[in-house]
Structure 1
Amino acid sequence: MPRLAEVAAACLLAAAALPFPLAAQTTPVYPGDPNWIADVLQNASAQITGTQPRSGNGSLQLHTTGDLQDWAYFENTAGNPNTASFGLLTDISQLAFDWFRDPLGVAGGDVPWLAQTPILRLFVRENDPAGAPHFSQLVWERYYTNSAPAPLNQWQSEDLLSQNFWRVTLEGPNGTLRSYTRAGCAGGPLDPAFPLLTLTPVAWTGPNGCYDPTNAFVWGIGVGVGSNWPHEFLGFADNVQLSFTTGTHIGANFELRPSSTVPEPATVGLLFVGLLALGAGRRAAAKRNAASVT
């Protein structure tokens, strides 16, 4: 019969081989984490709270008031936008996050608004050997893939690799000149007469896209709400995932710091400790039995 310590070790190895859900591939992000910066305008807010916890004790709470200028995002960048990047757009292998929509502000909304959820943005740079780089964002809004009303009061996991993104280019001082990409890669202001071009992230580097696959660098990612949202909105986001075929991975599980300095043991750890304790108990019992015989 194998020793209990050997059994415990085998259990640990077996547990390590099991596939983990997305939440297990993330890193806890606590309030004040320097890698995730809040970008907030007007009366909106983006903060980690315990109001609707996901995969732990917290999530990213996002709120707008109905002011069209409200804007609130948590953003993670690779560094200097002119030079740094996580990887090429064409090399993205995983892009996902979880979201939750509260019923606040739903009443009276039209079809796009009823489908609204927290948004995910990819920050893209194209290098120009003749001058300054060109910046743009690829924006996921659920409506452009699924226009049905968003489920309320329940967490949803969203795999974005095969979903539609629209594009906005950012030129001029501090990217203040915005142009929205239409069919044929033409740009202009938002205009219902000219629908936005929407493609999957990797397809934006393909024959129907507007990026050179060798010169579209993802230098940041953001999740949040706004702008031009006409009603009050309360939502939550968590388990943000961005991976590349090169091995680069960004995974964020928004959490509140534990109240205790002693971490709670994992289930596998408890199993290991329990087996060791059981073994010690059996050895002690054996010694007592031997002593009684003598």
Structure 2
Amino acid sequence: MNYQNILFHIENGIATLTLNRPEKLNSFTQAMHLEVRHALALTATDPSVRVLLLTGAGRGFCAGQDLSDRAVEPGAQGVDLGDSVEQYYAPLVLSLKALPMPVICAVNGVAAGAGANIALACDIVLAAKSASFVEVFCKLGLIPDTGGTWHLPRLIGHARAMGLAMLGEKLDAETAEQWGLIWKCVPDAALMDQANAMAAHFAVAPTKGLAFTKKALQASYTNTLPEQLKLEAAMMRELGHSHDYKEGVAAFIAKRPANFRGE
């Protein structure tokens, strides 16, 4: 695909996807959705990829939906926003969750609406100190979609989730870290260095074990404790036969760096 709205490349086990409509704060159009979908499919099927790094170009991460892409005038016939969620935003969130590898999001500026919730769908979120998160849906008479109503209460609790969702106030990156909404807030100038260093770490890590960790934590939201213990046993049984486990033990005993294959 000839990408017009994103930048995408794979190098040294790292897939880097940059939302690239900086003049529109990287807001989503249908065309950008299709390009992101294509890039995520390549990421999922390329055996050389062991981590995805998602970020945005320019001064913002993502302002959510480009409203001019589905503009509607007061009094005119409405648009089917449910179709938009079902056809584009829901598959995007599910694709990020299903990737068999860690997904890092580097939030370089404002993450608003669906943009905020795309970031929260990633496994580890780093944010620049000047970045912010805002659930703007309530100002348009809408609800936090793109998984927002699912992630927010699980990450920061019901009271804070309700406040963010119903007031639409901007949450700065430092507070987002303090609340547990994101992994870490870092100085602006250090954001991409730290994100790239983390991606490089994951590119040589035991990817299958990390993928299973991701699945297990996601399953814990709906499993009972006995079900979760059974899942852990099944995963440990499979991982115990993996090359990376054997290599990890051998490296530990020999006091040398491990050479993980990600298998």
TM-score range, shorter chain: under 0.3
- TM-score between both structures, scaled by the size of structure 2: 0.26
Which has the larger share of helix? 2
TM-score calculated relative to the size of structure 1: 0.24
- Structure in which a larger fraction of residues adopt strand: 1
Q: Which structure carries more relative contact order (alpha carbon 8 Å, separation 6+)?
A: 1
- The structure having more radius of gyration, on CA atoms, is 1
